[in-house]
Structure 1
Amino acid sequence: MKRSTIIALAGIGFAGVIGIRHWSRLGPVGNPKVPRPAKPVDLNRYVGLWYELARYENRFEKDCDYVTARYTLRDDGLVDVLNASRGAGGAIKSIKGRAKRIEGSHGARLKVSFFGPFYVGDYWILDRADDYSWSIVGEPSGRYLWLLSRNDHPSLEMRDAIFERTRQLGYDLSLLRMTRQS
């Protein structure tokens, strides 16, 4: 066998192992039939500070509490994203990203990148309150879900309404990890 063929096969095998390791770290699918966003989103109203009420646990937020997301609309139409949290032991972590609107989605679907052009993820605002007091955010695989509120301690009625709407959208509520807020 030619040396170049052996190197190519070794490279493919290595990529396969890395791919399997990556996929094995992903959480369970909490919704195999992720719906399209229910409403258009006015990003001028969506920007600002959000508190995470609950999420599907994921490797990049593992054991994090006091999670917030601040969205800022830029002059060029992009959205700056600043996610902050407190991890185990109380260490404060933050990460900056940038989001771009998806054409034809009425502001409800964004492409978000936290690592330059190397990783771009889907961010779908699946539903929101008419007054933008809460939102349900997911992505097409059904493995990631975030329930957000403008208030760090929303009323019991609002929490119940968010959870009920999340269930109606087809998500498994038993996979939710409640987020402690200050």
Structure 2
Amino acid sequence: MTAFQVLSVLLLAAAAAHAQSFHLGSCPTASVEKDFNITEYMGTWYEIEKLPAVFERGKCVQATYSLLSDGTVSVRNAELLSNGKINSIEGVARVKDPSQPAILAVSFFKGIEDPYWVLSTDYRSYALVYSCSNYLGLFHIDFAWILARTRALTDDIISQQRDKLAAAGVDINRLTVSNQTGCDAMA
């Protein structure tokens, strides 16, 4: 197998495992929420829009965050599958550097941490989260979520968050609207 073939297999495997697409080059530089207050961020957030993620297959996607006594954060992501069952996963997030509390690392599997950057939030209605990982210095895979405290968000706020992603160099044309209807089973 040639070096090009090995690289192609690695790229495809990484893309399949972590996202539906990847981008050549390094992750864009994004500014995070200044003076982020992790305590105010705790609670349930509903996914309004996202960059495609193969690990999300359902609707009514939501994340619940709880502060733990050691300063880490319990994370529970849940979605409603087409068969009516709730699919969920639990993990832990931690602030990587106390001087930058909006930059967290989240882990759902032992030994594997992924970035979780809170780019923008007002804590009571919306949050904008970005995650990006570089691979082999050749390409990156990114995720983004526009979140809300309710299952809907005004078009104005969505537009503002999309603009912030675009200003950070994120391809907002790939954002998809999340289905937050028929979510009674999630209550």
Query: RMSD between aligned alpha carbons?
Result: 2.5
Give, in angstroms, the shift of residue 144 of structure 1.
1.0
Q: Which amino acid aligns with 1:46?
A: Y
Secondary structure at the residue paired with 1:161? Answer: helix
Partner of 2:142: 143
Q: Does 1:81 align with 2:80?
A: no
Q: Which ranges in structure 2 are unaligned for 5 or more consecutive residues?
A: 1-5, 134-140, 182-187
Secondary structure at the residue paired with 1:180? Answer: coil
In the aligned structure 2, how far is the partner of 1:55 from the partner of 1:68? Answer: 12
Point out the structure with max Rg over C-alpha: 1
In the aligned structure 2, how far is the partner of 1:151 from the partner of 1:99? Answer: 22
Partner of 1:41: 36
Give aligned-pair identity as a percent: 27
Give, in angstroms, the shift of residue 162 of structure 1.
2.2
Give, in angstroms, the shift of residue 124 of structure 1.
0.9
Assess, with a 3 A threshold, how the Cα gap between structure 1 residues 164 and 20 changes in structure 2: closer, same or farther.
Answer: closer
Higher fraction of helix? 1
In the aligned structure 2, how far is the partner of 1:165 from the partner of 1:16? Answer: 33
Contact 1:36 1:126 in 2 (8 A): yes
Assess, with a 3 A threshold, how the Cα gap between structure 1 residues 157 and 110 changes in structure 2: closer, same or farther.
Answer: same
Partner of 2:151: 152
In the aligned structure 2, how far is the partner of 1:38 from the partner of 1:18? Answer: 37
Q: Which amino acid aligns with 2:59?
A: D
Paired residue total = 165
Q: Does 1:122 align with 2:115?
A: yes
Higher fraction of strand? 2
Contact 2:146 2:158 in 1 (8 A): no
Contact 1:39 1:128 in 2 (8 A): no
User: Bigger shift: 160-169 or 48-57?
Assistant: 160-169
Partner of 1:8: none
What TM-score, normalized by structure 1, do the two folds share?
Answer: 0.79
In the aligned structure 1, how far is the partner of 2:41 from the partner of 2:131? Answer: 17
